[in-house]
A and B are shown apart, each in its own frame.
Chain A
Amino acid sequence: MTSTELTAPVPAIDEDPVLELVGVRAAYGAIEVLKGVDLQVPAGSVVALLGPNGGGKTTTMKVVSGLMPTTAGEVWFAGRNVTGITATEASRLGVCSIPEGRGVFANLTVRENLWVATGTGARLADLEEAAYARFPRLADRRGQLAGSMSGGEQQMLALSRALGTDPAVLLLDELSMGLAPMIVSEMYDIVGGLAAEGISILVAEQFARVVLPIADTAALMLGGRVVKVGRPADVEDELSTTYLGG
């Protein structure tokens, strides 16, 4: 079956997935965008949510992080039905979401950005330590406005939030967007490191190749539904041949 079961000795059936979506529907006004999404993120695994633009990946991320209400279906988090909780509550439950685009406050300094990240209970000193240890470049720029840094540095700062706050689930939306390939692989090395520490990760990417090395499972999202779940390589094949034209 899936690679999760090959690595994990415990059968997945008995253990609750850390994150589960059951028949989730969501709409922007009258336009329904998610049309019954079923998705599971088993504990400690990395699930890649793949699919072409407009498939609903970002919307799914918004639903999980609590930014967007569902119109039907359920969201389960570590065995708890959390459908309809706010983003504030979700983040305090341990859902750390790095949104699409820039996940930083452009008009705050690096240090102030980390300060804002203490909202889930971490201490500023710990956060700073973790961030600067992993990204020494940020240490040099702690007093600089985040908006004046390069795209890669901004993304590092955004990712730092996941480093110091010890989340249970990490949601990453298009981490690679607009970044140089070098930086992207550096970022995903760090994500891989977080996965090795046991954090469950759901990562959305339009271009599958960058996440394949670290993903345990891949889900293909099309037209507001998860249409295929399987081994990353298989899903990627289908994605690239059928939908992205090679």
Chain B
Amino acid sequence: MTLFMTFTVLGLVLGAVYAIAASGLVLTYNTSGIFNFAHGAQAMIGAFLYYQLQAVWGVPTIVSVALMLLVVGPLMGFLLHRFVMGGLRDTAEVTKIVVTVAILLGFVALSQWAWDPQEARMSKMFFGADSYVTVRGVTIRYHEIICLLAAAGIAVGLRLLFTRSRMGVLMRATVDDPDLLRLNGHDPERVAGLAWALGSTLAVLAGILITPVAGGALEANALTLLVIDAFAAALFGRLRSIPRTFVGAMVLGLTSTYLVAYAPSEWTWVTNLRDALPMIVLFVVLLVLPQDRLRGAAVRTRERYEVPTVRRAAVWAVVMVVATVAFRQLIDDSSVGTLILGLSFAIIALSLTVLTGYAGELNLAPVSFGAIATIVAFHSGISGTGLAARMNLVGLVAGVLAAAVTGALVALPALRLRGLYLALATLAFGGFVSSMVLRETQTRSWFGHDFAIFPNGNLIVSPLAVGPLDFADQNTFLYSAAAVFAVLGVGVVALRNSGYGRRLAAMKDSPAAAAMLGQRLVRLKLSVFMVSTAIAGLGGIFMSMALTSVTSEHFVYVLSLSLVMLTVVGGIGYVSGALFGGLLAGGGFTLVVGTFNELSIEHPVHAETFGILSHSFLVMTALVGIGVAQNPSGNFFEIFHGQRTLARAPEVRYTALAVTVLLYLLAYAEVIGTWTFGILVVVLWQALPALGRALRPDRLLSQDELAARAATPLELLGVDTPYPDRLGERLDRELGLPARHRQVTPVQSVVIAADHSSRPEEGVRHVTV
């Protein structure tokens, strides 16, 4: 009985902290319509800052808590709203998700910058772990009592806020119709800002409370994930109801502790199950959630993508392979691996182009599908031993199929629901893979066979050999990866241009209309999700082969999220966006950070500067991701748009091509370095539209733009020309001067109206009123 009570108390405490975290999430979701994936990262930052104040700087506990809850939390929320979230109105759900994901990544990078992850830090309980009361043999620490009280207080407080206070009512109103709120004399920005301040404060509180409960270790990734567990609790309340969210949190907390207490001791995997529990619960809740009503009209969003023709895509595919071969000649052998890794990631990112760019759904764990494919390929397709071991085609195909089937299983419960829920399902799947599948390192009996799924936590993935192609040769591998990406790229463009692709686009624009036209949305979504995860699986196997030996560290959620974010930054509707995202996520980071590290070893005097640069590179990338809020179609949209205008002046392009070849030859002859070559080429092509307009204005500017250039500037109007009355009016208008004096001389206006009988309305006005 005492054991039961002890575990009940522990479960309730855990549930209480989940509840606090989840309620903040529900609060901001209901006032802004934004599901804040960065909520956990905010909690993590809160925990670190509190540690800094209380443990490092020795600020008294009560003062630290007050500072965190009254200053840091609200300020963080207010700034987030002011600079990021407020700008997310009228964007697609995908954009909203990606922006909060970018904030998550930014916060994690920031915390690892400020607090070196190599150092161990422990967060202590309030009043220490030794202050407790004992009730009938059950020990309850003061800290735990505080958790329970805080949760209860917040439950009551939020309920009162939402039903008994006008501010609460306004918060619920603002997500519906901010303009109507304005017409009622309120300022929706202020209301939403307050909601974000409150939501962030709840996140910070959850972070401070949960860290000691969860063992006390301050570790950025683990803490961020811990609060993501609260998502499951929020789903219990369908992201709307605070009371149900609290119930969900308690169920989650209790199940988790009972599992540890009462599971049979031969279940060695129970700790893994416990870690995966919130994600499993999230999945189960998705299964029972009722179907959303389909939105009627097409959503008016700011994202725009253009679809290239298959022919154009094929040309670019050839260009890409040729460029890869040419670039290979510039780099030394040690960098080839990085490039292969980048291309493998680009293949994974291509799965997002299909799923998100074409169909408008989101997968937040593409790399985890790669993990499944890798494991299946490893178990089914390796022949030979030692250095002669190779993966065969069977393994590759089996891996890809496994990823597709897993994709179908993951997507099934969420297909009836909105995109956000599918995103959550994939996130849950990613969590499940990390905490259960990749931890299956022991040999066990599976379906009558004894084997370990992830032997010793480290898979040696041998290179693929198909006929004459042997990936053990780095060059073969590199060119094959480029060719696979190019072919798949053309393939997805062809898919988009087919009838199937148009159905996907219709579903993305207006699910209701697509359903009305007799399309089976569920089947459509399921098939596209399977295609997408199959591609992700293929990319995952390539990635594992490129790394040769993979551990669970290679499939962490941060990697998936970075990839998703970078692909959106590049432009998720484009194959080139996938290439950009993949190269940066797979190769770019290691390359840039590695280069900075080398530089700091070479020039120890500047080591600090290079350290800052390498850290700020990570944070900057997240900032670029947040910038998606301003530019939701991705960077390539602008670039393509600029490049397309050059079609009317092909000589500009040919010149640029010649310069590129010249630069290449210089790099080949080692006159300039590879970095210099890369940067110069990027700058050249980025600046080309502007250069072209400056050099060939007659070809590239439209009539209007030319006219605007030729027109007299406002301040010179009438200087050496006659000065009619209407010119005065125009100047007044352009300068925003009061127009009222015009009425004082009605006679004159009537005369003007008579002069220009083509505009009779002015005359009418003065006759009748």
Contact = CB atoms under 8 A, between A and B. Distances in A.
Interface in A198-246: 217, 225-230
Contacts of B739: 22-23, 73-74
A120 B181 CA distance: 11
The majority secondary structure among interface residues of chain A is mixed
B180 A105 contact: yes
Contact of B765 (A92, A161, A226): A226
A81 B738 contact: yes
A118 B173 CA distance: 13
B336 interface: no
Interface string B538-570: 000000000000000000000000000000000
A117 interface: yes
Contact of B740 (A22, A116, A117, A228): A22
A22 B185 contact: no
A96 B764 CA distance: 29
A45 to B, nearest CB: 11
Interface in B123-178: 166, 169-170, 172-173, 176-177
B187 interface: yes
* Count class of interface residues, chain B: 20 to 34
A229 B177 contact: no
A99 interface: yes
B118 interface: no
Interface residues of A, number: 44
Contacts, number: 98
Given A72-B733, A73-B733, A107-B176, A119 B186 contact: yes
A118 B166 contact: yes
A22 B169 CA distance: 38
Nearest to B30: A107
A38 B67 CA distance: 55
A112 interface: yes
Given A38-B765, A118-B166, A230-B768, A87 B172 contact: no
A92 B184 CA distance: 8
Contact of A99 (B183, B761, B764): B183
B698 to A, nearest CB: 24
A136 B321 CA distance: 75
A176 interface: no
A67 B183 contact: yes
B761 A116 contact: no
A107 B172 contact: yes
A40 interface: yes
Contact of B169 (A76, A86, A87, A108): A108
Interface centre among A86, A96, A118, A229 (most CB of B within 10 A): A229
Nearest to A230: B768
B185 A229 contact: no
B761 A228 contact: yes
Contacts of B166: 115-116, 118
B743 A22 contact: yes
Given A107-B172, A227-B760, A67 B768 contact: no
A40 B769 CA distance: 8
B745 to A, nearest CB: 14
Interface string B173-213: 10011011111111100000000000000000000000000
Interface centre among B166, B170, B172, B186 (most CB of A within 10 A): B186
Interface of B: 166, 169-170, 172-173, 176-177, 179-187, 733, 736, 738-740, 742-743, 760-762, 764-765, 768-769
Interface of A: 1-2, 22-23, 38, 40, 65-67, 72-74, 76, 81, 86-88, 91-92, 96-97, 99, 103-108, 112, 115-121, 161, 217, 225-230
11 contacts: A66-B182, A88-B187, A96-B183, A107-B173, A108-B169, A112-B172, A115-B166, A225-B761, A227-B764, A228-B764, A229-B768
Given A2-B769, A107-B176, A229-B765, 17 more contacts: A22-B739, A22-B740, A72-B733, A76-B740, A81-B738, A88-B185, A91-B182, A92-B185, A99-B180, A99-B183, A106-B176, A108-B169, A115-B166, A116-B184, A120-B185, A121-B185, A227-B760
